[in-house]
Amino acid sequence: MTAHRDWSELEHAYGTAEDTPGFIEALRGADWESALQNLHASILHQGTIYNATLPAVPRIVDVALDPAAPGRQGALWFVVAYAESIAQGYSESSHYLPEDTDMDDFDESARAALSDATRRLAPLLDDADDEVRASIYQLTSYLVDEPVAEEVMPLVRAKFDNESGAAASLIESLVRHDLFTEADFEVVLERGDDAITFAAAWSAIAEGMDLPDAIDHVVRLWLAQADGYPGSGASLEILANHAGPRAVPVLQALADSIETDALADAWVEVALASRSSVDAALDGLLALTPRTVGVVTALAQVLPAVPERAAELCDAVFELADSDDPTLRAVVATTLFSARDARWAAPAKTVTVHPAEPTVSRRKARMSFAYALTGFGPQRPDLLWAEADLFELAVAALWSWRSGAWVEVLGVLPLTQETVRAVLPFAAELPAQVGKLLAHAAVAGLAVPPVDSDDAWMITAGALADPDADLDTAFRRAWEANGGDDRASSDLIDVWSTRPSPALLETCLRLLDGTALTSFPGQFAQLAAARAIDDPARTWPTIRAVLDEAGNPLPTAIAVALALGEHRAEVVALLEDISTTGRLTWSGRDHLAVVVAVDTLVDLGEIAPGAAVERVTEALFDSIDEHSAGRVAPEVGLVLGRVLAAHPDLREQVREQLSDILDDDHRLPTASDTIAEDVEITTALRAGLGG
């Protein structure tokens, strides 16, 4: 595979890879840093390994072996990053690879490329440049469990006695390969080089090696040595990520020496790395002073894993409700709201007196106060428990910030005439959001005054509220204002179906052309059109096409298809095929579609219980490997709950299958990389098992 040189047939993150050879050659020029950025962005984007990555690696190694190349060091950094991706399992993922890729062959080829690169670069262990040698040591640190390590690690080990300029990277590699001993540590201590002592002790804690006084050495040397550690520095967050519970005594000892927010981030990493360490992490966070935005944000991230200590945590957070910092008050409010603590409302309402809406951090994402508080889309939780306070807050927020997100909040609360009065003043500024709310209010029978606007939803609201409206003309205006068939909207079709007109039916028939549109919104619109047309012979071919595509519209497609009745056998056959052979999306296999299909087959009595369990658990484990279990596990839990309730004899077998997920101390890798998602996954699976 690495001999392939027709780059137009290879792909990377942005399409075909004809530009890759040019980027590699540019590493030999003055603008090599830009070329390196392009290579990382295209053929190793966020660690992903593409079919264009493999033939690029030996060419990049050519640059790394050329002392005259200005980008020689950059080439080495790229190979190290490639090795890290292999170590993290990216070569085993079918994401972004052609559908016909043999994954066993691809993984083998990717590892062979790494082995070949390692052998070719091994002579650089003797290079005069400290940074070059450090890069080779870093490369070898990612070769644990790779066969080539047996060839190269004796060479690395042989460098221990004489290495000085790159000793930190050397020792980290030796520790990871279990080639560093207590006697070696004594030698390091005798040398008296604090940087090397720190590196050895840090690596030992991170990798779980029991070295005498390693924690004391790390704590003693942290302030002087951490920032200079190879790579991006030895931050507490990185140590906690690697060491998990082993980092607890380090964090405790540094509590009075390190910036509070850095400690808060590190405590979250401890709780994220180790389920059993969440109480220690919470204790560490509660002990931090002052309680900054970062500390409260960290407490919010830990909260889902400690429901039994929610009151204690919320009491500590509420002490900050009178802060002068609107962002801190917003974080306090969102944290209390997530715990359903009624005290959330007071700090939330005071935030609205400020001219700008705060943003709130949630792990790696930042979002507006509205979305941080109430969620959005399918992830939005039940809000009715706080209905009155949310209504008051949303109206105040609208007057202060004119944000459509707050209209959306009002839209998911029960619609009343008061809601209509509250949003009308913002119709001109926020026509799409206000118009959509008013349209649903009109459908609900509320009085909606006419508003002059060219917005699709405003046109819709006015027409649906007017018993004498020319519905044909109004629908055509609204449909074109929304973008026509190219932006077909299921929401518009559903709302207009409450007062159908010839123009609506004509549009629906155009969408029902027997094929599935490319986009999920388009497919949802086709399903809405099928609901609006009472003609199974005309609607079924399109419904079937959408059903066969699976993806996000699958549950809706199943409901629409089964409502027809006469096509039950064909629906069952399609679902059987989806649940066994699966479907592919742009990012890989659609594991959720497998589970949704099995769920329906269980409901229809068309699958054996053992087969149902086998298929959903396989989909679950595959989704974990691809960090998508957060979407899949809740549905798996529902299927298991139904199957095991009817067939309790299968419960112990399934419990044993899931024990590695539920009983392991490590949290599951997820798309959001949050404690909350791990808790949601395990909670759903335990519920499916019956406790």
Query: For residue range 156-215, what is the model confidence (pLDDT) as tens digits?
Result: 999 999 998 999 899 999 999 999 999 999 999 999 999 899 999 999 999 999 999 999
- Which residues, 6+ apart, have CB-to-CB distance to 546 below 8 Å? 516, 523, 526, 527, 553, 557
CA nearest to 133, candidates 178, 160, 165, 85: 165
Is 50 exceeded by the pLDDT of residue 1?
no
Q: In the chain, how many domains are there?
A: 1
pLDDT band at 267 (very low <50, low <70, confident <90, very high): very high
Please say whether the beta carbons of 56 and 43 come within 8 A: yes
In the chain, % of residues over pLDDT 90: 90
The set of residues, in sequence order, having a beta carbon less than 8 Å from that of 451 and lying 6+ positions away, is 424, 427, 435, 438, 458, 461, 462
Q: What is the mean pLDDT of the chain?
A: 94
Backbone dihedral angles phi then psi of residue 518, each to the nearest 5 degrees: -70, -40
Residue 654's SS3 state is: helix
Q: What pLDDT, on a 0 to 100 scale, did the predictor assign at position 5?
A: 73
What letter does residue 455 receive in the DSSP assignment? S
Reply yes or no on whether the pLDDT at 2 is more than 80.
no
For residue 584, what pLDDT is reported? Answer: 83
Is the Cβ–Cβ distance between 560 and 528 less than 8 Å? Answer: no
Strands 359-362 and 365-368: antiparallel
Answer whether residue 24 shows pLDDT above 50.
Answer: yes
pTM exceeds 0.85 = yes
Q: Is the peptide bond before 70 cis (omega within 30 degrees of 0)?
A: no
Query: Does pLDDT of 95 surpass 80?
Result: no
- Round to whole Å and give the CA distance between 69 and 29: 7
What is the number of residues in the chain? 691
Separation of CA 461 from chain center? 36
Q: 151: which 2 tokens?
A: 């060839």
The candidate with the shortest Cα–Cα distance to 11, out of 67, 90, 93, 95, is 95
**What CA–CA distance (Å, rounded) separates 114 from 122?**
12
Domain that holds residue 651: 567-691
Please determine, for residue 100, whether its predicted confidence score (pLDDT) is greater than 90. Answer: no
Distance CA 216, CA 225 (A): 14
Instruction: Tell me how far apart the alpha carbons of residues 128 and 130 are, in angstroms, rounded to a whole number.
Output: 6
Beta bridge partners of 360: 367
pLDDT at 230: 58
590 in a domain, yes or no?
Answer: yes
Who wins on pLDDT, 581 or 588? Answer: 581
Does any domain span residue 670?
yes
pLDDT, residue 227, reads 84
Distance CA 56, CA 4 (A): 10
Please say if the pLDDT value at position 361 is more than 60: yes
Q: From CA 225, how far away is CA 223, in angstroms rounded?
A: 6
Q: Which of 612 and 6 is assigned the larger pLDDT?
A: 612
Query: Given this model, what pLDDT does residue 186 score?
Result: 96
Asked if residues 579 and 594 have their Cβ atoms less than 8 Å apart, the reply is: yes
Q: What is the mean pLDDT of residues 501-508?
A: 97
Grouping H, G, I as helix, E, B as strand and the rest as coil, residue 507 is helix
Query: pLDDT (tens digit, 9 = 90+) per residue, 619-662?
Result: 999 999 888 999 999 999 999 999 999 999 999 999 999 999 99
- Taking the alpha carbons at both ends of the chain, their separation in whole angstroms is 49
H or E segment to which residue 599 belongs? helix 591-604
How far apart CA 637 and CA 681 sit, in angstroms, is 9
Question: Tokens standing for 221?
Answer: 């040397």
d(CA 48, CA 85): 7
pLDDT over 80 (residue 547): yes
627 DSSP assignment: T
Q: How confident is the model at residue 364 (pLDDT cuts 50, 70, 90)?
A: confident
Q: Identify the top-confidence range among 1-15, 92-106, 359-373, 428-442.
A: 428-442
User: Residue 43 carries which side chain, given as an amino acid letter?
Assistant: I
- Backbone phi and psi for residue 365, each to the nearest 5 degrees, phi listed first: -115, 150
Reported as a single tens digit per residue, the pLDDT across 563-585 is: 998 999 999 999 999 999 989 88
Q: Which long-range contacts (CB under 8 A, 24 or more apart) does 125-132 make?
A: 125/155, 125/156, 125/159, 130/165, 130/166, 131/73, 131/166, 132/72, 132/73, 132/76
Instruction: Round to whole Å and give the CA distance between 254 and 222.
Output: 9
Q: Is the pLDDT of residue 38 over 60?
A: yes
- Residue 325 is given by DSSP the state -
Q: Please tell me the distance from the alpha carbon of residue 627 to that of residue 670, in angstroms, as a whole number.
A: 4
Least confident of 22-26, 51-55, 231-235, 405-409: 231-235
Residue 44 DSSP label: S
Residue 428: phi and psi, rounded to 5, are -70, -35
- Distance (Å, rounded) from C-alpha 95 to C-alpha 585? 9
Q: Are strands 359-362 and 588-589 parallel, antiparallel or unpaired?
A: unpaired
Summarised one tens digit per residue, pLDDT across range 132-146 is 999 999 999 999 999
Does residue 630 sit within a domain?
A: yes
User: pLDDT tens-digit profile of 231-264?
Assistant: 555 588 889 999 999 999 999 999 999 999 999 9
Residue pair 679/662 in contact (Cβ under 8 Å)? The answer is no
Residue 216's pLDDT is what? 96
